[in-house]
Amino acid sequence: MIYPPPRTVHFTIEARLPSPPIIVPNIQLPLRVILVKIEPYTTPVFIRSLQIHLFAFTEITAHDLKKTDKRIITCLSLAGLQSPVGHDSQPIGEGVEADQALWANAALPDSVPPSFRTCNIWRTYQLEIVLGLSHGHVGPIEVPHPQ
């Protein structure tokens, strides 16, 4: 049996922090995740996994030598989710926000020091948000066996 190829679903995903992006340890991340449909489709989109990592960079300069230390702090790692984002009849160009309850337990540990810059030491951070998405089917995918 020949199955038609799956239809591609086109949308954009934005992850937003307030401006200026200030994140305080032990307080929920002030994150917004927004899906915007950019062409028509009729199958719903689901968040299946979510990871939030903080990259900490410390740069030390001395006598024209530079060393950068990079550390990764995992703030949240979830898999097996079935959280819908928007709906199939959502108008094109309209943004729909993902459920913030997904990252309600995501916060920086209190051991994370603030960013700073001195004459030869610089501490800065980058936040990485990784989403696993699917559309249409949310249960386990069954692959038909040839007969």
Residues of the chain scoring pLDDT < 50: 141-143
Would 147 be classed as within a structural domain?
no
* CA–CA separation, 83 and 144 (whole Å): 26
Residue 72: inside a domain, yes or no?
A: yes
Cα distance between residue 19 and residue 26, in whole Å: 19
DSSP secondary structure letters along 36-91: EE-S---S-EEEEEEEEEEEEEEEEEETTEEEEEEEEEEEEEE-S--EEES-TTPP
Domain-located, residue 88: yes
Determine the structural domain holding residue 73 and report its residue range. 11-135
Instruction: Please indicate, yes or no, if residue 4 is contained in any of the structural domains.
Output: no
17 lies in a domain?
A: yes
How many domains does one find in the chain? 1
Report which DSSP code applies to 19. S
- Please give the pLDDT value at position 45: 83
19 within a domain of the structure (yes/no): yes
Residue partners of 28: CB distance under 8 A and separation at least 6: 103, 104, 105, 106, 107
Residue 26 lies in a domain: yes
- How much is the pLDDT for 143? 45
Instruction: List, for residues 40-72, the tens digit of each pLDDT value.
Output: 777 788 899 999 999 999 999 998 899 999 999
Instruction: Give domain status of residue 146, yes or no.
Output: no
